[in-house]
């Protein structure tokens, strides 16, 4: 029997044929992979045939909420978008808040799997059981905000909309998916995959009650845990500033990426704090479904007579569009943030790509001939805003940069790969890690490329010593097994990491929903399985994938950082190799980073479904 919390229904959409149907979720997927990122990993493992072009019709886009999405318990507002990433060529996913996941669940689905390519620009409209493609010629070309407004006018306020901007249409490999005027599935370019399918937006309206096993129990547990999270001191101290509350600390420890990761401290860091945001530009606090600690800081910033509404800038945007671009004014960062959101660019990668371009300009690899005579410079809002547009529309030098820093460095040559700050083709997010080895290892081994939140280890480095090697691989793995639990359940991790809401609550929360007993240990065991499955996909999808792909950018072990508490230091390559050795050993992987047969056996992963079918079938 299916556990509670599931519809036992996955909506399949074939855009080539304009057809849709439902397949059952099944107990094995539900119990073995829970939902969200777990579903995405297993479904892509089973259905993504190696060699599939990320922009080809056969690259499936998986949209997966989890069994907890939208339940009355603290912070249940998440949904996962996944596909083969055009940025990395590997499994890619991104997690988004807002109310989109709730709508998918209320429409009656455990997940959506979208394949093929629509014959014209279209919106996929899901209205409970009614699914159709709406021609979207009038929306194609619109910015994300404008398209969301237009679609809600057209379909109704009660539709939840996930939309791409021009960057997604133009297949910029770091194009995001936007929702609720400020929430994004930012990383790994799933927005570009939707664009390659001619899908401008997915609009969902659901009216059904969530399929939880025991609503009374959900209510009791929800009431108790809301009261508990309300009582934690962190709730009152963290919530006013949200993620940007961390800027001060990160600058202090020298990890605030500045001017393309040359430095870890920024002269104008005070412009980038949650406190400054709240004082100067805040309109209101904004939350996702059932959020007890609304971190969304919806703002209005005026710059040269133009006023922009934007959610944020949150910490990552403060770092990548702020310090890493050398910006000295919050309002300029907010406007760059608005521009990225409107164009449909992941603010993290867009900021990192722009900072790479500035450095390449300084070193003469990009010249005024490439920039319509402009000078690209850190801190220069005008030229950087111009650059974002060039990228989103793939104009001139923007076309080169639209492939991400790895691609741009390959094309530019001239040693620019030394300052192309990425791992596996995904740009490094908001922590300068060369003097914090756990954080560095976290970036190196992250399955989707250099993303911080799979294992946010920087505080551990500060606690135990930056350059200490012992125990760091253990810590990173511990964090890497914790995080997928949140992503499988589709709940927010901030209650845990920021306000001290303990991991011990989640087994109880899930079992109220499913009606089945479960333990936290079991959930982290499933997380290990997810971690190995995405590794297996990398190995099978990219011939030669292995240890070399886990190495960080050279800047982090060749160039000393300028300024800050770790001034003059960088990571040591021998330490990095030791960290990797230990990490692989603990994971049960060989020295090239490939899971050993006994590891796969222990985790009961098995062969992918496509390999079990006879060639040419289904």
Partner 1 sequence: MILQALEEECSGCLACELVCSLVLFKELNPRKAAIRIRGEFPAPGAYRIACCDQCGDCAAACPHQAIYRKASGYWIDPDKCRLPCTLCADACPRDAIFFHADVPHAIKCVSCGQCVRYCPTRALVDKDGKVENMAPVWRNAR
Report the interface residues with partner 1, using CB under 8 A: 70-72, 77, 99, 102, 106, 145, 149, 157-158, 180-182, 207-210, 212, 215-216, 218-219, 222-223, 226-227, 230-231, 235-237, 239-241, 278-279, 282-294, 296, 298, 300, 309
Residue 275 C-beta: closest distance to partner 1, Å: 8
Closer to partner 1 by Cβ: residue 278 or 542: 278
Kindly tell me which of 208 and 613 has the beta carbon lying closer to partner 1: 208
Nearer to partner 1, 103 or 579 (CB): 103
Per-state percent for the chain, helix, strand, coil, to nearest 5? 45, 15, 40
Closer residue to partner 1 (CB): 232 or 497:
232
Q: How far is the CB of 292 from partner 1 (least distance, A)?
A: 5
Residues in a beta bridge with 11: 22, 112
Q: Give the C-alpha distances (Å, rounded to integers) separating 215 from 69, 211, 218, 230, 513.
A: 14, 9, 5, 22, 8
Q: Which has the closest alpha carbon to 487: 458, 450, 447?
A: 447
**372-375: long-range contacts at Cβ-Cβ below 8 A with a sequence spacing of 24 or more?**
372/396
93, 451 contact by CB (below 8 A): no
Least distance to partner 1, CB of residue 251, Å: 20
**For residue 254, what are the CA distances in angstroms to 72, 432, 462?**
39, 8, 11
Return d(Cα 354, Cα 371) in angstroms, integer: 13
CB of 349 to partner 1, least distance (A): 23
CB of 429 to partner 1, least distance (A): 25
Which CB atom, from 210 or from 576, has the smaller least distance to partner 1?
Answer: 210
CB of 430 to partner 1, least distance (A): 23
* Nearer Cβ to partner 1 (272/397): 272
- Four-point Cα dihedral 323, 326, 328, 332, nearest 10: -90
CA distance 358 to 416: 12
Using alpha carbons, select from 383, 374, 319 the residue that is nearest to residue 351: 319
**Burial (Cβ within 10 Å: 0-12, 13-18, ≥19) of residue 25:** buried
Strands 160-163 and 130-135: unpaired
Residues 546, 247 contacting (CB under 8 angstroms)? no
Q: How far is the CB of 6 from partner 1 (least distance, A)?
A: 14
Collapse the DSSP code of 544 into the 3-class scheme (helix H, G, I; strand E, B; otherwise coil) and give the result. Answer: coil
Task: Annotate 507-521 with three-state secondary structure.
Answer: HHHHHHHHCCCCCHH
Distance CA 452, CA 442 (A): 7
- Residue 23 is given by DSSP the state E
5 secondary structure, DSSP code: T
The least CB distance from residue 392 to partner 1, in Å, is 19
With respect to partner 1, which residue has the nearer C-beta, 341 or 447? 341
**Buried b vs exposed e over 417-430: b needs ≥16 C-beta within 10 Å?**
bebbbbbbbbbbbb
Residue 241 vs 506, nearer CB to partner 1: 241
- Closest separation between CB of residue 222 and partner 1, Å? 7
| 236 or 586: CB nearest partner 1 | 236
Tell the smallest beta-carbon distance from residue 146 to partner 1 (Å).
Answer: 9
**Three-class DSSP category at 131:** strand
Q: How far is the CB of 8 from partner 1 (least distance, A)?
A: 17
* Cis before 313 (ω within 30): yes
Instruction: Give the integer Cα–Cα distance in Å for 387 and 153.
Output: 32
As measured in angstroms, the least distance from the Cβ of 336 to partner 1 is: 16
Min dist CB 409 to partner 1, Å, is 36
* Residue among 149 and 573 whose Cβ is closer to partner 1: 149
Output the smallest distance, CB 289 to partner 1, in A: 6
Closest contact distance (angstroms) between CB of 342 and partner 1 is: 10
- Say which residues have a Cβ less than 8 Å from residue 283's Cβ, sequence separation at least 6: 298, 299, 300, 309
Mapped onto helix, strand or coil, the DSSP state of residue 167 is: helix
Closer to partner 1 by CB, 12 or 300: give it.
300
Length of the chain: 618
CA–CA distances in Å: residue 460 to residues 464, 528, 568? 6, 21, 22
* Smaller CB separation from partner 1, 235 or 258: 235
Minimum CB separation from partner 1 for residue 391, in Å? 22
How far apart are the C-alpha atoms of 174 and 388, rounded to whole Å? 12
User: Cα–Cα distance between 603 and 565 in angstroms, integer?
Assistant: 42
Question: Rounded to whole angstroms, how far apart are CA atoms 407 and 420?
Answer: 9
């Amino acid at each position: 029997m299916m556990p509670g919390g599931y519809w036992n229904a996955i909506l399949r959409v074939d855009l080539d044929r304009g057809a849709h149907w439902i397949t059952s979720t099944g107990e094995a997927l539900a119990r073995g992979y829970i939902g969200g990122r777990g579903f995405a990993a297993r479904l892509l493992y089973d259905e993504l045939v190696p060699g599939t072009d990320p922009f080809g019709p056969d690259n499936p886009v998986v949209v997966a909420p989890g069994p907890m999405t939208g339940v009355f318990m603290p912070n249940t507002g998440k949904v996962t978008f996944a596909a083969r990433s055009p940025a990395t060529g590997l499994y890619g996913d991104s997690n988004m808040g807002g109310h989109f996941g709730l709508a998918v669940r209320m429409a009656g689905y455990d997940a959506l799997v979208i394949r093929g390519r629509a014959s014209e620009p279209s919106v996929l409209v899901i209205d409970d059981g009614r699914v159709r493609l709406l021609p979207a010629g009038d929306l194609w070309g619109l910015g994300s905000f404008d398209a969301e407004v237009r679609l809600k006018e057209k379909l109704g306020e009660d539709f939840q909309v996930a939309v791409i901007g021009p960057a997604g249409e133009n297949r910029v490999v770091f194009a995001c998916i936007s929702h609720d005027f400020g929430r994004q599935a930012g990383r790994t370019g799933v927005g570009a995959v939707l664009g390659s399918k001619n899908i401008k937006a997915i609009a969902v309206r659901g009216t059904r009650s969530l399929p939880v096993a025991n609503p009374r129990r959900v209510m009791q547990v929800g009431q108790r845990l809301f009261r508990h999270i309300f009582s934690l001191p962190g709730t009152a101290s963290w919530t006013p500033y949200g993620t940007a509350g961390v800027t001060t600390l990160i600058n202090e420890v020298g990890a605030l990426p500045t001017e393309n990761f040359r430095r870890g401290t920024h002269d104008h860091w005070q412009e980038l704090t949650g406190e400054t945001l709240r004082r100067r530009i805040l309109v209101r606090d904004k939350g996702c479904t059932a959020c007890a600690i609304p971190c969304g800081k919806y703002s209005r910033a005026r710059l040269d007579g133009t006023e922009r509404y934007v959610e944020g800038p949150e910490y990552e945007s403060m770092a990548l569009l702020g310090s890493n671009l050398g910006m000295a004014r919050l309002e300029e960062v907010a406007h760059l943030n608005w521009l990225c959101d409107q164009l449909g660019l992941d603010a993290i990668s867009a900021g990192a790509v722009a900072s790479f371009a500035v450095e390449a300009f300084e070193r003469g690899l990009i010249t005024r001939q490439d920039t319509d005579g402009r000078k690209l410079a850190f801190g220069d809002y005008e030229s950087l805003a111009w650059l974002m547009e060039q990228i989103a529309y793939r104009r001139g030098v923007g076309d080169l940069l639209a492939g991400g820093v790895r691609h741009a460095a390959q094309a530019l040559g001239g040693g620019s790969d030394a300052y192309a700050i990425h791992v596996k083709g995904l740009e490094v997010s908001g922590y300068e890690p060369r003097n914090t080895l756990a954080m560095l290892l976290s970036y190196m081994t992250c399955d989707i490329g250099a993303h911080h939140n799979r294992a946010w280890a920087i505080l551990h480095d500060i606690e135990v010593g930056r350059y200490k090697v012992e125990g760091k691989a253990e810590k990173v793995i511990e964090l890497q097994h914790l995080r997928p639990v949140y992503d499988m359940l589709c709940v927010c991790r901030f209650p845990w990491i920021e306000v001290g809401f303990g991991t011990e609550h989640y087994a109880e929360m899930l079992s109220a929903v499913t009606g089945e007993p479960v333990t936290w240990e079991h959930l982290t065991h499933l997380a290990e399985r997810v971690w190995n499955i995405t590794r297996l996909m990398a190995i099978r999808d990219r011939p030669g994938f292995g240890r070399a792909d886990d190495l960080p950018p050279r800047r982090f072990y060749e160039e000393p950082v300028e300024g800050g508490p770790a001034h003059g230091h960088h990571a040591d390559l021998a330490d990095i190799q030791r960290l990797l050795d230990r990490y692989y050993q603990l994971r049960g992987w060989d020295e090239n980073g490939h899971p050993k047969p006994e590891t796969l056996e222990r985790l009961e992963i098995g062969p992918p479904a496509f390999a079990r079918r006879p060639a040419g079938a289904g």
